[in-house]
Amino acid sequence: MKVLQERSLAPFHTFGIEVAAEHIIVAESPRELVAIWQDEQYCSLPKMVVGQGSNILFCEDYAGVIVLNRIRGVEVTETADSYLLHVGAGEDWHQLVSSTIENNMPGLENLALIPGCVGSSPIQNIGAYGVELKDVCQYVDVIELETGKQSRIAAEDCQFGYRDSVFKHAMKNTHAIVAVGLCLSKHWQPNISYGPLAKFDAEDVTPQAIFDEVCRIRQLKLPDPKVLGNAGSFFKNPVVESKLRDKLLTLYPDMPSYAMADGSYKLAAGWLIDRCGLKGYQSGGAKVHEQQALVLINHHHATAQDVLTLARHVVSSVAQKFGVSLEHEVRFMNAHQETTLAEVQS
């Protein structure tokens, strides 16, 4: 393991906010992860495993150890029907997607250009354009940090939900993801059900064409975190009962809504925020992105407090106008542990 001399976390999370950690350590193997947890110097301190920090808001300086997961490696095997990928948690997600397309192993093209490491993908059950990680995940390899015991969690036991999994709950503080197993069918079928992709003809569309279009749309709508600090979609798309959805449709006939299997409806958080007139709204150095209202950006040397104040205003505005409660998709970290917008003092 490599102990970094710097304490600034700005280079290690995509919001780029100037916060610090007591210690920053790079782990390149499961053994090194366990060694950090068992090191007497760090055992009494809070610890957090971070990939690229693409879904985190540090609300204040972190009073513990940030562990950068850099476990690499991609192994590919085949069956008659599938390509089986075993991918280290520290691999870059988009680079993996790009590589599979280049090597004629389609199935991930809808998930192109999602920032972050592979190890983060099961935690959020990442998804885009009609596809979620759970659709291609075969297993997740984890390590129990206190004991070093490694185990394999089958996809059906990962409790995948909408931007949710067991790794956000029962395993959040006790285990780290070290690898993810993906299964890509050789009998590829395009998923072009999502609006912007519906222009394609299922009979002749190629994985490369879908990949290129997803990248084009995301680059058009979403800011590059290397240019404008952000954590992607800040809020989850809210799920509401049919009664509220029907009421809102009478007032806003153009409101997007998507039926869920249980009879509820998913609304588009970005549309709700936009209809509140919040695109471009600014609080200190933080701002609602002018092209995509779902994204809050570090516009100009934003502090964590700037982002929190802006997020509270967005939540309050949507609740007042639509009676809908927004929940943040971004993980909030205080000095010692994960927290929520409601828990953070204003």
Q: Which residues contact 57 (CB under 8 A, 6 or more apart)?
A: 13, 15, 17, 231, 304, 307, 308, 330, 331, 332, 333
Known catalytic residue: 316?
no
- The number of C-alpha atoms within 13 Å of 187 and in the hemisphere containing its C-beta is 3
Closest CA to 59 of 295, 315, 306: 306
Known catalytic residue: 312?
no
Closest CA to 4 of 67, 72, 81: 67
Q: Check: CB of residue 125 under 8 Å from CB of residue 162.
A: yes
Q: Check: CB of residue 270 under 8 Å from CB of residue 294.
A: yes
Taking the C-alpha atoms of residue 261 and residue 246, their distance in angstroms, rounded to an integer, is: 17
Known catalytic residue: 233?
yes
Q: Which of 109, 218, 329, 331 is catalytic?
A: 329
Distances (CA, A) of 37 to 28, 32, 46: 14, 9, 10
Taking the C-alpha atoms of residue 227 and residue 221, their distance in angstroms, rounded to an integer, is: 14
- The SS3 of residue 54 is coil
Q: Check: CB of residue 234 under 8 Å from CB of residue 225.
A: no
Q: Which of 121, 233, 257, 283 is catalytic?
A: 233
Instruction: Name the one residue in this structure whose structure tokens are 């299922």.
Output: 202
Q: Check: CB of residue 112 under 8 Å from CB of residue 218.
A: yes
Q: Which of 163, 218, 245, 331 is catalytic?
A: 163
Taking the C-alpha atoms of residue 307 and residue 298, their distance in angstroms, rounded to an integer, is: 8
The percent helix, strand, coil of the chain (3-state, each to 5) is: 25, 30, 45
Residues that are catalytic: 163, 233, 329
